[in-house]
Every structure is written in C-alpha cells, then in structure tokens.
Structure 1
Amino acid sequence: MNSLPVYDSRLSASHLGVFLQTRYLFNDAVQCRILKTGINHSYLLKDGSNKQIFRLYSYNWRTKTEIEEEIRLLKLLNENGVPVSYPISDATGSFIQEIMAPEGLRFGVLFSFAEGEKIRNFTADMSYNIGVAMARFHQVTQNLALERVTYNVETLLVAPLQHAQTFFGAGSETMFFLEKSTHELVEKLKEINLKEVREGAVHLDIWFDNMHVTPNGEVTFFDFDFCGNGWQVLDLAYFNVQLFNTEFDADEYQRKLQRFLEGYETIVKISDEEKRLIPYLAVSLWFFYLGVQCQRFDDWGNLFISEDYFKRFIGLIQKWCTKHELFA
C-alpha cells in the first residue's frame, strides 16, 4: 500500500470539540460543528447558550508569528471598544492551539461569537454604522506596525500577476488585460502623495461576509486573516467596490456609499488624496484577490478559475473603470 502526502484535511468536529473541552474553561459540554471551509476552516462551538468560533488555519498558510500579530491587533481593538470578534485564551492563558493534522502542524484560535447575522444588502443606516466602526478601527491603529505583510505595489499588483501567469497563456485575452491594467495601476500608484494618505493596520476584507449586524444595526467585524500594514484607505476602497458589486441600483449604491462615508467622517476625515485613490485601489484589490485565488487554487478547485468567471470578473472591472473614468 502506498502512502501519499495530504494537501488539506478536515478534522472531525466531534473529536475537535472533545479536544477543545480539555483546553478551555467551558461551563457545559461543548457541541462542535463545521461552519465554513475554504483557505481556513471555521467551527461553531456551543457551550450551553454561549457561542464561540474556532478557526483552524490551513497548513503553512500563516506562520505562528503572523497569527500572534493578528491576536495582538484584535486584543488592542477590543480593549479600545472597537466592535470585533476577539481571541479567547485557554485555561493556561495561551491563545494558539497546535494540532498535528495529517498534512502537518496546524494552528487554531478561539474567537468570540459576533452577535447578529450576515446581511448581503445593507440599508443606508447600516452603511453609516459600518463607516463609523471602520473609522474607529483605523483611528486606533493609525501608524501601528504589525509583523505581517505590507500591502503595496509589489504585494497588491506585481506578485498577484505572477500567480495569474501560472494559469493563463501569455497571449490570452485574459493575460493581456491583466498585464496592461497592472502596468497602468503601478504607474498610477507611483503618484501617491504619501503625506496625505494615512498608514497603519488594515483589515483588507471588510464586506458583508466578514461582519455581523444586529437587528438594531450594531456592526461587528471578524476574520482578520488578511490583516496587515498599508494605506488605510484600502479598506474604504474594498468596501466601496463590494457595495458596487452587490447593490445593482445605481441610485441606491450612491446613497449607501454616501452614508458610509458620512459615518466614517464622524470619526476620521478622509483626505482628498485618499478619495482620489479609492477607484484605483479598488481595482488593485480585485487583482490582489485574483492572485490569492490562483495561489490557493486547490482550496476551491475550478469554482473561481474558469472562463465564465473571468468574463464576469473582467466585465465588472471594466464597468467600474468606465464609471470612474479610469485609464481614459
């Protein structure tokens, strides 16, 4: 019988629950079930009426230091009243669990449960509250340095293009579009007036799938797996483009965007230079996450990397560029 290496495994939820019961100070017997798979695996734990989330990071996806820095960031935000799902220590005071899976050593962290639910189509008032919460996050973390990735031209554009080149032929229509657009974006980002752009910690993935909203409109952010260092306006650009993707009514999109920006600026003012950059950074983030999808192809198979997906992907970017008169 031949034994082959394992790329990724999904741990038994019931056995993981038993393991975690020995590590944490739960009040009752823990019920554990898989909640979400992808790059990482999330498990929902129920301890009587209490809920927590246990994230099991994929093998070799994040270093222990990177996870420690994510924890440091979340503890800082929680201590300063920013609404986030925060890490919970075990009975010994440790935040990171080490679990030997078939593919190798994996790390896991227990997080508080974010009250509320995911809402794909925000109301204008919800958009306002999201703006307030994001600004509070940026206010606390401006000029904070994390021992994690720094998002810049290299990591947002150059490296993702290299990942994409492993999937598409040099003469393909898709590759021509990506290379041409990346070159234009690199040149545009060289023009940034850094004195007018705030730097610090960024989430880089704030959209409806990574926040819960309660019935009274309170917002809680979670899944800081892509947090790092960079221009904080990146988070505004990402939220903007995700709102653009999910709100098909142009007037409603504009109204909700305006409320989001109004909420944000009750806490922190957005400079004219940051506002100018948002359309370009939005496209840069589209390309960044395309690179992630190529890099982690085996997590999703061909769900993302398909001809049909790229027709839609390029169409959305072109629609965005037309709206903002980019590269004209």
Structure 2
Amino acid sequence: MNPFPVYDSRLSASHLGTFLQTRYSLNDSIQCHILKTGINHSYLLNDGAKKLIFRLYSYNWRTKNEIEEEIRLLKLLNENGVPVSYPIADAKGSFIQEIMAPEGLRFGVLFSFAEGEKIRSFTTDMSYNIGVAMARFHQVTQNLALERVTYNVETLLISPLQRAQTFFAASSETMTFLETSTYKLIEKIKEVNMKEVRTGAVHLDIWFDNMHVTPNEEVTFFDFDFCGNGWQALDLAYFNVQLFNTEFDADEYQRKLQRFLEGYETIVKISDEEKRLIPYLAVSLWFFYLGIQCQRFDDWGNLFISEDYFKRFIGLIQKWCTKHELFA
C-alpha cells in the first residue's frame, strides 16, 4: 500500500541529529531536539559545549535560490559585524541541505546560535541597542538588491486582501474594514516622496521572538525567512507596532520607542518623510501578515482565522490609527 500524501511532516529529531552530525562533522555527543514549529521547523543542536540551530524550510515554501539569497545577505551582515545568526557550511562547503521528506524535497540550513534569550518586555537600554543593531543592518544593506520578494503596495496590501477574500464573506464586518482600510493605505502611500525614503534589504520580522538579548543587553537578530527588498522604514514600522502590541503602558511605550529611535539615529538618520510614512507602513504590515496567516492556514489551523482573533485584530489597528490620527 502506498503511503497517504501529507501536507507537512515533522522529522525525527534523533535521526536528523545523526544526519547533521555526519554532514557537518559534529561532535559524536551532539543532541538534537525540536525547538519550534510553524511555517518552518527549527531544531536545537547541543553537544554540551556549543549550540547550533537547524532550520528546515517547509515544502514548497522557499525556492533554493531564495534561500541562497538569504544566505548571501547573512554572510554579508556577519562579515560587516552586524549581530546576526549566520549560516554555517557543511564539511563539503555546502550551506543548503536537501532532505526528501514524506511530502517532498525540503531544504535546510544550519545557523550559529544567538547568545542570550528572548525577552518580551524590553528595557529602555535594550530598545536603544535594538535601534543601533537595526541601523547597522540597514547601513550595510541600503540599495542592496536581493533576488527575493519586493515589498510594495502589491505584496503588502493587494495580495493579502485577495487571500483574505477567500476566508470572509464580502459583506462581513472584517472584510469591509480590510477593503476600506487597504484602499485608504494605497492612496496614502502614493503621496509619499520616495526620493526621501531609503530602500534596500529588509528583515520584515524584527520583534522579540526573532532576537536574543544577553545579560549585558547585547542584541542578535535571527530568522531572516521574510527578508526581501523594500523601504527600510518597514523594519522601523514593524518594531514600532510590535512594541505597541506588547507595552501596554502608554508612557513606557513612548520612552522605549524614543530610545529605540535614538539608538538607530546614532548610526543612520531617519528622514521626515520616513517618519511620516511609518504609521501607515505599520498598518500595511498588519495586513501583510494577515495574508500570510490565510496563505499558511494549515500550519496553524484556526488559531488566527477566527472571529475572536479578528475582533482583537481590528481593535488594535483602530487603536493605532486613532493614536496616529490616520485617515482623519
């Protein structure tokens, strides 16, 4: 009997550890454990002396060329002293492993372990250091072109709206809000003076879950799976909105945001046009990741696509729009 086709599989950590030990000539005592699942699967390797991270990309999620471009970006950042988790080549010099899983060919990459831990609530000094690290990243990658997605009106707003339309009735409150807000955002972005907005490589997912902070409050970024091309203010907007989502004290939010921006501007200045654009890009990113949740529904089930989630989702966006006087 032929095996039943699968959408996704979780590889045996112990067998994967043996495979990686051979490919990378790792210590025989290496232990491999599943660390995180989602769109991709992350495994933690530990030999008692050092830790490593192996990311196994989902089937048909990223092309080999897209992963090669992510690796190229990370090598460039590492070579320029930007604090990132960087890719590691195997004993033969290859960065990408090809693994035939039940669902088909999957790619995997081994990364250095970012020292420290995830911290949900940043101090003001941490916020400052995150700003410095992000600016150093943008300084190195300004005007850099990757052979990956370009984040623009089409990819941030129009495509996510089309994905959402497959989940919600046209007459629903959610769909009405998404459509109205999307077209308002498109018009606002058309008004931007793009000569005053820096472009280059962006991370697009810099928040507490994708960085480690050491006891000395040094910051390392990781998980560049959504890296691509776009306005670098997108990363500023994403951090801003994630801080807004996790810091419920309005005064603390403002203090931490100010320190983040101060840290950033010790390296790179933010133009007035970028500052004006950031609140609109923040809402665009909310919509973009809604589109990803719709696109990858099977990875999470109904955790995100639910009436309760969208009530909270829309409430947060409306709160943000009121604070920044958007669409007034």
Partner of 1:62: 62
Q: Distance in 1 between matches of 2:117 and 2:108?
A: 23
Question: So what's the TM-score if we normalise by structure 2?
Answer: 0.99
Structure 2 spans left out of the alignment, 5+ residues: none
Which aligned pairs between 1:1-328 and structure 2 lie closer than 5 A?
A: 3-328=3-328
Greater shift in the superposed pair: 199-208 or 24-33: 24-33
Q: Secondary structure at the match of 2:4?
A: coil
Tell me how far 1:25 sits from its aligned partner.
Answer: 2.5
**Matched-pair contact (CA < 8 Å) for 1:27–1:48:** no
Greater shift in the superposed pair: 1-10 or 249-258: 1-10
Q: Distance in 2 between matches of 1:14 and 1:211?
A: 26
Q: Secondary structure at the match of 1:99?
A: strand
Could you say if the C-alpha distance between residues 172 and 258 of structure 1 is closer, same or farther in structure 2, counting changes exceeding 3 Å?
same
Q: Distance in 1 between matches of 2:190 and 2:40?
A: 34
**Matched-pair contact (CA < 8 Å) for 1:21–1:29:** no
**Matched-pair contact (CA < 8 Å) for 2:149–2:228:** yes
| One-letter amino acid matched to 2:173 | E
Q: Distance in 2 between matches of 1:2 and 1:80?
A: 50
Q: Distance in 1 between matches of 2:93 and 2:80?
A: 21
Tell me how far 1:3 sits from its aligned partner.
Answer: 4.1
Q: Secondary structure at the match of 1:139?
A: helix
| One-letter amino acid matched to 1:177 | F
Structure 1 spans left out of the alignment, 5+ residues: none
CA RMSD of aligned residues (A): 0.7
Q: Distance in 2 between matches of 1:84 and 1:264?
A: 16
Q: Secondary structure at the match of 2:23?
A: coil
**Matched-pair contact (CA < 8 Å) for 1:55–1:110:** yes
Q: Distance in 2 between matches of 1:259 and 1:72?
A: 31
Tell me how far 1:28 sits from its aligned partner.
Answer: 3.8
Q: Distance in 1 between matches of 2:19 and 2:27?
A: 15
| One-letter amino acid matched to 1:236 | L
Tell me how far 1:192 sits from its aligned partner.
Answer: 1.4
Q: Distance in 1 between matches of 2:48 and 2:98?
A: 25
Q: Secondary structure at the match of 2:68?
A: helix
**Matched-pair contact (CA < 8 Å) for 2:21–2:27:** no
Matched residue count: 328
Q: Distance in 2 between matches of 1:2 and 1:70?
A: 36
| One-letter amino acid matched to 2:251 | D
Residues 234-285 of structure 1: CA deviation (Å, up to 9, x unaligned)? 0000000000000000000000000000000000000000000010000000
Q: Distance in 1 between matches of 2:29 and 2:62?
A: 30
| One-letter amino acid matched to 2:168 | F
Q: Distance in 2 between matches of 1:83 and 1:210?
A: 12
